[in-house]
Structure 1
Amino acid sequence: MIGLPAGTRIWMAAGVTDMRCGFQGLAAKVQTALQENPLGGHVFIFRGRRGDLIKILWATGDGLWLAAKRLERGRFVWPQADSGKIHLTQAQLSMLLEGIDWRQPQRTAEPLSML
């Protein structure tokens, strides 16, 4: 993961997001559903219905990043709420990206041996 500048807030969008959305669709969701400025420099994380894919939207001074990660096994741990947002720390974001339950650090599936 690219190091985030100090003061960057990380927001997880509760509920399910249509993963067909790109830059404009996710930015619109940030504005309407999360009541935030998508170009404010904060990180916004969205999860699809199956739970194995997330998209991350992040605005820097010179552009907008859109990253996606799909787990081969396991699911990303997500809040039960249908709407709203959850604040994460950078450590919790790192755990989420590794497929670890960021609420109770345990892997949702053991990684395959690369031997």
Structure 2
Amino acid sequence: MIPVPSGVRIWLASGPSDMRRGMNGLALQVQQALGRDPHGGDLYVFRGRRGDLIKILWHDGLGMSLYAKRLERGRFIWPSPADGVVPVTAAQLGYMLEGIDWRNPQRTWRPQAAG
């Protein structure tokens, strides 16, 4: 899991992205297509067309980092392209990285009483 500092905003770039791009190409996409500053300290999450690969772009104030995760089975849940840039919380990002539906995580059953 990426150690997301408090106060960092996380943005999902809805719609498929070209996963051949590296950090410079994705930073340019953040700047031109999303209209945001890629060096502002926010995390930007991109998904490939097949849906099994995501890349996370993050500038921590010292340098740019690029993280990638590929699911061996299944696909990452992703918003529709009409949604534009979607903000998510660090907890929702954690769910997503585990392959869980971040929009509606299912909690396990908990007993109501001890006895």
Task: Say yes or no: TM over 0.5.
Answer: yes
Following superposition, the deviation at residue 54 of structure 1 comes to 0.2
**1:60 shift after superposition:** 0.8
- Map 1:31-70; keep pairs closer than 5 Å: 31-70=31-70
Pairing 1:16-95 to 2, within 5 Å after superposition? 16-82=16-82, 84-95=84-95
Identity %: 60
Runs of 4+ that moved beyond 3 A: none
Measure, in 1, the Cα distance between the counterparts of 2:82 and 2:67. 23
Deviations 1:84-105 (A, max 9, x none): 2000001100000000110112
Distance 1:84 1:28 in 2: 17
- Note the residue ranges of structure 2 that are not aligned, 5 or more in a row: 107-115
Q: Does the aligned pair in 2 maintain the 1:51–1:75 contact within 8 Å?
A: yes
Shift of 1:82: 4.7
What is the distance in 2 between the residues matched to 1:2 and 1:74?
21
- Structure 1 gaps, min length 5: 107-115
> Partner of 1:3 in structure 2?
3
RMSD of aligned alpha carbons: 1.2
- Paired residues of 1:16 and 1:82 also in contact (CA < 8 A): no
Deviations 1:56-110 (A, max 9, x none): 000012110000000000100001125620000011000000001101125xxxx
Count of residues in Structure 1 that have an aligned counterpart in Structure 2: 106
Larger radius of gyration: 2
CA contact (8 A) 1:16 1:46 kept: yes
Task: Give distance in 2, aligned partners of 1:100 and 1:6.
Answer: 22
